[in-house]
Chains A and B, each alone.
Chain A
Amino acid sequence: MARKLLLTHIDVPGIQSFEVYRQKGGYRAVEKALKTMSPDDVVEEVKKSGLRGRGGAGFPTGMKWSFLAKPEGVPRYLVCNGDESEPGTFKDRFLMTHIPHALVEGMIVSSYALGANTSYIYIRGEMMPQIRIVEKAIAEAKAAGFLGKNILGSGYDLEIHVQPGGGAYICGEETALLESLEGKRGNPRIKPPFPAVSGLYGCPTVVNNVESIAATVPIVNDGGEEYAKIGIERSTGTKLISASGNLVRPGVYEIEMGLPMEEFIYSDEYCGGIANGKRLKAVVAGGSSVPILPTNLALKTAKGESRLMTYESLADGGFVTGTAMGSGGFVAFDEDQCIVRNTLNFTRFYHHESCGQCSPCREGTGWMEKVLHKIEYGQASLSDVDLLWDIQQKIDGHTICPLGDASAWPVASAIRHFRDEFEWHILHPEEAQTRNFGLAHYADPLVTT
């Protein structure tokens, strides 16, 4: 069995509650940090652990923390990003539902490390049940003396509040999230300045993903070096993978970094293979915005090496033959799935979620959707594929925030790897219009397993 750090006690009945969580060793990290470590010691352990942001960008958490400006007399904030909205990703919802105290404990340890006395957990508004659960966990922790004034007699004060979102994918972008938390539209800010210098209310702020925050608990308990022993190269520790699509057992799995993707898909310990005895056609390995890969490139890199679930291995080959870890939203497509239809769906998503602030994203995402719609419904000509390619290039890298890039990459990779399907739709308009949902037997192009 693989080691688990976050979901160790997931099957323990009542682990949602403070008592059971505490019995299972919960809040030891708070005791250890506040009683025996300085804030800088905690930062140091997180640096040593090699933990990288679990929200998508994979930026080293310890380094992000060390960038936090500390001007005299100005409050600092820790804001937890629980706006989980990336299609294919549902690990944070899972973690908050089942082990809310892991998040609360992580928040206390992390806030202590950063010297924040007020911290916010921004949870997307649709997760009202999780908001209630986390609020309850905070109240329990406070009643037990782990929050409030002079925690455990250490002289450290902390309050944690939950903030609901209002329904906007863009608020997962950290500066849009801060705007939203200030009661504004979720328009990403123009950087610099970065939140570490000027974030919430213009004060130095760190924004971390739910899973990153929870991961600080085992790091403090066992030490950063111990955490870094798990994994390969610069991909340390464990990662929650949200598995969905045409799998025998979709769900949230905690894996050790470095697990071969093939094992993750087919082993009975994890997803148990492709549902209904079908074959695998394609994989989106890190949430909808990372490049989609056909099976051959998903399971093996272009060099023929086994593709591992690490930041480095997934990115091997760049965006030409590789993809990215992203947020760990793993979507499997069986042989019947239509890549054009899925690309249209994802593009509609980005069009719907664009904040509309900057021109390439505001106008380009809608344009791509319209062109894709034409292709999917058999009204396009072959030059539309080139047009689509050109539009995504005009968006990629030219926008205020990464949503523009995120809208361009799925389109680029779908055309790159599945161009024949796009062409089929254009050359066979009748079949494309009359076929049933999801039927795409015609292509089955690159399945070589």
Chain B
Amino acid sequence: MIVEFSDELLAKFAEVVARYPQGRQKSALLPVLHLVQAEYGWLSVDAMDKVAAYLDIRPIEVYEVATFYTMFFLQPQGKYMLEVCRTGPCCLVGAERIMKHIEQRLGVKEGEVTADGLFSWRGVECVAACGFGPVLQIGPEYTFYENLTEESVDNLINELKQKSQQG
């Protein structure tokens, strides 16, 4: 995917870069990648190369970082990426059951995209909400859904479907 950053996005980049001392603009890499991903849904090589050019660093420095952190997608995902916590404490209260249910309900395996392009799901490691498990989050704003049951997951999926039809 070839991208061209809008003026609005570039203004946001500049705001981020201003947080660091002169010459330390590489510090802006993670926040800038988040901004780019929020805009396009994922990080294409072209987008990463343009981030590198903007921050005056080598492209490989961007690839190294983008592949290290789990929040960055290097390929397109469903419009809604359901991320279910799969770590110990959530599993004590049924996270594995919820993931199974989501898999059946959406009809796609972990990491795949539904045919309508709306949904993907994956298990993620502890999201620091163990007391309210099972939990899931949806980017780019990482809206949080707690104390999940099969029923609440169904409702959520229906809501999101409706929302995308309206939007």
Interface of A with B (CB < 8 Å)? 75, 84-90, 92-93, 118, 120, 124-129, 161, 163-169, 180-186, 201, 242-246, 250-252, 284, 288, 329, 331, 333-334, 337, 341-342, 345-346, 349, 352-353, 355, 437-438
Contacts and interface: CB of A to CB of B under 8 A. Distances in A.
Given A166-B72, A201-B21, A245-B92, A349 B30 contact: no
Contact of B130 (A89, A334, A346, A349): A89
Nearest to A90: B128
Contacts of A251: 131-132
A435 B33 CA distance: 44
B87 A349 contact: yes
A185 B132 contact: no
Given A128-B140, A245-B93, A185 B129 contact: no
Contact of A169 (B21, B125, B140): B125
A181 B27 contact: yes
B128 A85 contact: yes
16 contacts: A85-B125, A87-B87, A88-B89, A88-B126, A90-B131, A125-B30, A125-B34, A129-B141, A165-B69, A166-B65, A166-B68, A168-B69, A184-B65, A331-B130, A345-B91, A437-B97
Interface in B23-78: 24, 26-31, 33-34, 55, 57, 61, 64-65, 68-72
Size range of the interface on B? Answer: 35 or more
A333 B27 contact: no
Contact of A86 (B93, B126, B132, B144): B126
B107 interface: no
B87 A163 contact: no
A252 B131 contact: yes
B88 interface: yes
Contact of B129 (A90, A125, A341, A346): A90
Given A88-B89, A201-B24, A93 B34 contact: no
Contacts of B55: 183
Contacts of B26: 182-184
Given A90-B130, A166-B30, A250-B130, A129 B142 contact: yes
Contacts of B165: none
Nearest to B69: A166
Contacts of A329: 130
Contacts of B71: 125-126, 166-167
Contact of A124 (B61, B87, B97, B128): B128
A125 B91 CA distance: 22
Contact of B69 (A87, A167, A342): A167
Given A167-B71, A355-B68, 11 more contacts: A90-B128, A118-B21, A120-B19, A129-B142, A165-B69, A166-B69, A183-B29, A243-B131, A244-B133, A349-B126, A437-B97
Given A164-B34, A185-B64, A345-B88, A88 B142 contact: no
Top 3 A-B pairs, shortest CB-CB distance: A166-B69, A244-B130, A183-B29
A343 B70 CA distance: 22
B131 A169 contact: no
B133 to A, nearest CB: 7
A342 B128 contact: no
Nearest to B85: A87
Nearest to B135: A90
A225 B56 CA distance: 51
